[in-house]
């Protein structure tokens, strides 16, 4: 989950290394550092905390060099200290690493027996000592790096530079992403296209096991069998505007406000002649089960979609947490389809689950926001969610985009199976007015701020919903806990009497979701149960819920919209409540503690 940047140039690299790290800060902000080579010396600057702290340190203690590497860390082995920050160096070598070296303890013990002294608690430091040891044995840099990579078990993206070679960088990836950027008489590496977008749009995505040997004006790539190979050059479409906050104080707020345009863009892209078409050449009538695999917010998108796939498309569906799925090794039908969902397309657990599904003969569909990602490249079909760059750690517009795409896939199944459903034209009409409904809710933001003011400071908040709204409740609770650090729990309203109701008293805030759908009367009964126990209800619902206006702490009336599309619309208040509560609590909205945007380690 750490971020890596590297540059070989004829010019000084320091300012661009810092700029690249700033673009990567969403991947880790426990500590940061850069190392450059100048006059056959490795110069190192490291700090604890965010990139701004590193910028200040470099300003106070300048350095320069035409080759350098940088790193933003999300701590795994060892706490957030200067000693554990990357790059790690010896007198001859500097390295940066993203991932986890699973056999680092054995390597460390072996090296210590030979007299090697370690200065950090990290798994990564073994890499720099292995390379240095091989150089001391007389191997050249390529040989030393190759021998080192052979010893590493686990997941990694690694970049290595050498004191005595100011025109050489060697990098490799296995399980963690790494991208090459091609410039004019200069080369770049980065953990993703976003970090390289200010420097070049010509990218080469390394594949699993690849090793790249870079010089200023050339590069070679070897595959996992050490065979020289060519990888395609891809043009990146990421613009500077997409990675700027613009007029907004936070990326998250900007991305919340972008959702109406995201919805319009997706409808324009995937609906042709009034019919959704996401480009899947699948005979759905021959498919006996759909398996969703995802993590976090994407998992909740799948939970919501399960209601559509089963209730509308009549497709047997299971929803799996990626980190548990592959270790259970569940049997999968060779007539099944697995849909993996990941904003970044690099989520380590989801990628591993994809590979397991393919080994079981599944057809795999990827829903990703980064079409050049590893998950996209390894899937049979790719459906871009087209949300645009999402920088805020807490997903907002990508979640909405995922739900919209899943609706379209649901109708793709119906069309393929030649099954009727009440008029997609009616649903499409509702989807087309959805952006206007979003915009209306954004105008009512101050009313949602009133809810946040009352939630702030509470020890625990419960989110309740039924049907597809259960998934929205889970997502609302996740957003609140990860941004404000308040405990929040999502539960299905119908399960209240089976446990969660024990938590309800006059001190318990309850966010209750009650759209005008087929479950509204059931929801009313559940709500009465909560109010009978003096729960502090914040009711977010349609017109039929307004009868409780005077009985609850706060009633927020939602725009009238077809119930099928309601999960998308009800997500917006969840996002805004979490955002506003986090501001009141004084949390870092874009970079909440302990979290990173792209989870590339298990």
pLDDT tens-place string over residues 106-127: 999 999 999 999 999 999 999 9
Task: Read off the pLDDT of each residue in 67-84 and give the average, rounded to a whole number.
Answer: 90
Percent of the chain with pLDDT over 90: 73
Identify the band that residue 164 occupies on the pLDDT scale cut at 50, 70 and 90.
Answer: very high
How many Å apart are CA 167 and CA 190, to the nearest integer? Answer: 18
How many Å apart are CA 502 and CA 35, to the nearest integer? Answer: 55
Tell me the backbone φ, ψ of residue 211, rounded to 5 degrees.
Answer: -125, 130
Identify the band that residue 224 occupies on the pLDDT scale cut at 50, 70 and 90.
Answer: very high
pLDDT recorded at residue 241: 54
For the cut 70, the answer to whether the pLDDT of residue 37 exceeds it is: yes
Task: Read off the pLDDT of each residue in 153-169 and give the average, rounded to a whole number.
Answer: 95
**Lowest mean pLDDT across 203-207, 487-491, 591-595:** 591-595
What pTM value is reported for the model?
0.87
- Beta-carbon contacts of 272 under 8 Å, excluding residues fewer than 6 positions away, are none
For the cut 60, the answer to whether the pLDDT of residue 422 exceeds it is: no
Q: At the topology level of CATH, where does 444-589 sit?
A: Rossmann fold (3.40.50)
pLDDT recorded at residue 445: 92
* Largest Cα–Cα separation, the chain: 82
How many Å apart are CA 119 and CA 84, to the nearest integer? Answer: 8
CATH value of 243-442 in 3.40.50.10490, 3.40.50.11540, 3.40.470.10, 3.20.20.70: 3.40.50.10490
Identify the band that residue 349 occupies on the pLDDT scale cut at 50, 70 and 90.
Answer: very high
Which residues belong to the active site?
2, 597
CATH 3.40.50.10490 maps onto the chain at 243-442, 444-589
Task: Read off the pLDDT of each residue in 553-558 and give the average, rounded to a whole number.
Answer: 94
pLDDT recorded at residue 602: 62
Q: At the topology level of CATH, where does 3-238 sit?
A: 3.60.20
pLDDT recorded at residue 592: 85
For the cut 90, the answer to whether the pLDDT of residue 239 exceeds it is: no
Rg of the chain, C-alpha, whole Å: 25
For the cut 80, the answer to whether the pLDDT of residue 237 exceeds it is: no
Identify the band that residue 209 occupies on the pLDDT scale cut at 50, 70 and 90.
Answer: very high
Burial class (CB in 10 A: 0-12, 13-18, 19+), 445: middle
pLDDT recorded at residue 272: 84
CATH 3.60.20.10 maps onto the chain at 3-238
CA end-to-end span of the chain, whole Å?
Answer: 10
For the cut 80, the answer to whether the pLDDT of residue 598 exceeds it is: no
Task: Read off the pLDDT of each residue in 440-450 and give the average, rounded to a whole number.
Answer: 93
Mean pLDDT (the chain) is 92
DSSP 456-522: TT-SEEEEEE-THHHHHHHHHHHHHHHHH--EEEEEEGGGGGGTGGGG-STT-EEEEEE-SSTTHHH
pLDDT recorded at residue 535: 87
């Amino acid at each position: 989950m750490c971020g890596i940047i590297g540059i070989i140039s004829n010019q000084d690299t320091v300012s661009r290394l810092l700029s690249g790290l700033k673009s990567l800060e969403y991947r880790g902000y426990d500590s940061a550092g850069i190392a450059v080579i100048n006059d056959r010396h490795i110069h190192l600057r490291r700090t604890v905390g965010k990139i701004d702290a590193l910028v200040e340190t470099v300003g106070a203690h300048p350095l320069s060099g035409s080759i350098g590497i940088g790193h933003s860390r999300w701590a795994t082995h060892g706490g957030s200290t200067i000693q554990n920050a990357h790059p790690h160096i010896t007198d001859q070598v500097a390295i940066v690493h993203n991932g986890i070296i699973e056999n680092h303890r054995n390597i460390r013990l072996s090296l210590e027996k030979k007299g090697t002294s370690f200065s950090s608690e990290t798994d990564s430091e073994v890499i720099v000592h292995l390379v240095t040891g091989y150089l001391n044995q007389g191997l050249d840099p390529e040989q030393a790096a190759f021998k080192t990579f052979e010893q590493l078990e686990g997941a990694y993206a690694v970049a290595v530079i050498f004191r005595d070679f100011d025109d050489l960088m060697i990098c490799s990836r296995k399980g963690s992403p790494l991208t090459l950027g091609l410039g004019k008489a200069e080369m770049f590496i980065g953990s993703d296209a976003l970090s390289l977008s200010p420097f070049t749009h010509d990218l080469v995505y390394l594949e699993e096991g690849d090793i790249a040997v870079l010089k200023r004006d050339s590069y070679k790539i070897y595959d996992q069998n050490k065979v020289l190979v060519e990888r395609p050059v891809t043009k990146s479409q990421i613009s500077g505007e997409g990675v700027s906050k613009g007029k907004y104080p936070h990326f998250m707020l900007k991305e919340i406000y972008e959702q109406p345009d995201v919805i319009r863009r997706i409808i324009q892209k995937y609906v042709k002649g009034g019919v959704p078409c996401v480009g899947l050449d699948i005979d759905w009538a021959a498919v006996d089960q759909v398996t969703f695999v995802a993590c976090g917010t994407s998992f909740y998108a799948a939970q919501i979609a399960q209601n559509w796939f089963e209730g509308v498309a009549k497709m047997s569906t299971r929803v799996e947490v990626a980190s548990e799925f592959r270790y259970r090794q569940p049997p999968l039908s060779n007539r099944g389809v697995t849909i993996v969902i990941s904003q970044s397309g690099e989520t380590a657990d989801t990628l591993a689950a994809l590979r397991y599904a393919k080994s079981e003969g599944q057809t795999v569909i990827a829903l990703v926001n980064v079409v050049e990602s590893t998950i996209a490249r390894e899937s049979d079909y790719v459906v871009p969610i087209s949300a645009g760059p999402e920088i805020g750690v807490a997903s907002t517009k990508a979640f909405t985009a995922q739900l919209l795409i899943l609706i379209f896939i649901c109708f793709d199944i119906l069309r393929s199976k030649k099954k009727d459903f009440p008029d997609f034209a009616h649903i499409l009409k509702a989807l087309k007015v959805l952006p206007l409904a979003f915009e209306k809710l954004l105008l009512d933001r101050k009313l949602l701020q009133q809810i946040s003011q009352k939630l702030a400071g509470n020890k625990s908040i419960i989110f309740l919903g039924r049907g597809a709204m259960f998934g929205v409740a889970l997502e609302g609770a996740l957003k609140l806990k990860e941004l404000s650090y308040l405990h929040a729990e999502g539960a299905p309203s119908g399960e209240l009497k089976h446990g969660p109701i024990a938590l309800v008293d006059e001190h318990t805030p309850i966010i209750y979701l009650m759209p005008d759908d087929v479950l509204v009367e059931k929801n009313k009964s559940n709500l009465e149960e909560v109010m009978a126990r003096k729960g502090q209800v914040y009711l977010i619902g349609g017109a039929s819920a307004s009868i409780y206006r005077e009985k609850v702490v706060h009633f927020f009336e939602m725009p009238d919209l077809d119930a099928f599309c309601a999960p998308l619309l009800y997500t917006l208040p969840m996002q805004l409540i979490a955002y506003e509560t986090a501001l009141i609590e004084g949390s870092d909205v874009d970079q909440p503690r302990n979290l990173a945007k792209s989870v590339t380690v298990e």
